[in-house]
Structure 1
Amino acid sequence: MNVPDRTGCWRRVWQWALLMLLCCASAHALAQEAKTYSPSPSAIVGDWLVESRDAVIRIQQIGNQYQGYIVWQLHDTYGPEDGPELNGKIVTDRKNPDPALRSRTLDGLPLLTSLRFEPDKTRWIDGRIYNADNGRTYNCLVRMLGPNRLQLRGFIGISLFGGNTVWSRVTMRTPAPGQLPFVEDAPAK
């Protein structure tokens, strides 16, 4: 009689348990880091380098809400990998679900809208974030991890089903030839 090998099954259970433990530990560490910094409602205002380091988003307060738009992008024109019909042309919002908006350029494009500060939890909630890479808009919330770092969580439905990205505060400047148009602000110690 053949007895099923349960070693592989238990190994997968332990691997899954270890993965869950690591995820919980990293989420707890980020939460602890965010709890040690108590931001003011306007702490989110400024210029932020996205995690992929290929764009800077300027967040401004408009009324009692906060909104962000692109002020710089590493690739503002299409390259040869985008095909001969696009090569060298200005990057546009070509994945937008509204055909009338597909020809607008990404420079100045509003990406972050409707965020409002929630003082009792020191976070910004009820926001929307537009992803120009796929033309989709997601719910979002923002937590400050310190004066020069923020964590944005994009999600569908409830925040449990989403992903995080960390942005770094920068100061925009007029670049010297061959240099970037910003400098990263020093992280708080």
Structure 2
Amino acid sequence: MAAAQAAPGNEAAATAIEGDWLVASRDAIIRIQAQGDSFIGTIVWQLHDTYGPEDGPELNGRIVTDRHNPDPALRSRPLTGLRLLWGLHYDAAAKAWVDGFVYNSDNGKQYHCEVHVPSPDTLVLRGYIGIPLLGGSTTWTRTHEPFPARSSSVRSTN
């Protein structure tokens, strides 16, 4: 597999995953970049970077954290900057990034994952338990800075 990554032409294909990706819910941007011989993804922007009144008075106005993490020691870390993807390796034969993991901050669970980039501006991530058949997919869209305004900076004109 390492030879496939280094082959001419495959290097450009392998790096097609790199960049900033707007998640399907349009409330976060994940930056995917090479780290050694694999790829990682971190949250670089969130629409809601602070908790609102609907989250209760004890959270209102505070930075959004990894509060669903199964490890109590990690629940106070901010979501912005959090690594969500890791261990992805490009498989030239499959034209996919495989053998990775994805962390779901909504439920604090970690899943195996694979990624396909069917077009330059579309990424399909499949998270699964055991085998890819037992999972779900989501589609992300490539985006470029400047990032959209956060909800905490959007003001009503009424």
Superposition TM-score tier, normalisation by shorter sequence: 0.7 to 0.9
Unaligned runs of 5+ in 2: 1-9, 151-158
C-alpha separation in 1, matches of 2:118 and 2:46 = 24
1:143 equivalent among 113, 116, 125: 116
Alignment counterpart, residue 116 of structure 1, candidates 85, 89, 96: 89
Residues matched between the structures, number: 140
Provide the residue aligned with 1:180 in structure 2.
Answer: 149
Residue 155 of structure 1: aligned partner: 128
1:106 is the counterpart of 2:104: no
Deviations 1:110-146 (A, max 9, x none): 0000000001110000010000111000010000110
C-alpha separation in 2, matches of 1:84 and 1:114: 38
Determine which structure has more spread, i.e. the larger CA radius of gyration: 1
Aligned to 1:132: 105
Measure the CA separation in 1 of the matches of 2:34 and 2:116.
16
Q: Between the two structures, name the one with larger relative contact order (CA 8 Å, sep ≥ 6).
A: 2
Distance 1:94 1:164 in 2: 24
For the aligned residue pairs, the C-alpha RMSD in angstroms reads 1.5
Note the alpha carbon deviations across 1:140-164, whole angstroms, 9 max, x for none.
Answer: 0000110110100001110001001
More strand by share: 2
Match of 1:54 among 27, 31, 44: 27
Question: What stretches of structure 1 move > 3 A for 4+ residues in a row?
Answer: none
* Superposed counterparts of 1:61-80, under 5 Å: 61-80=34-53
1:62-97 deviations in Å (ceiling 9; x for gaps): 111000000000000111111111011100001111
Partner AA of 2:17 in structure 1? I
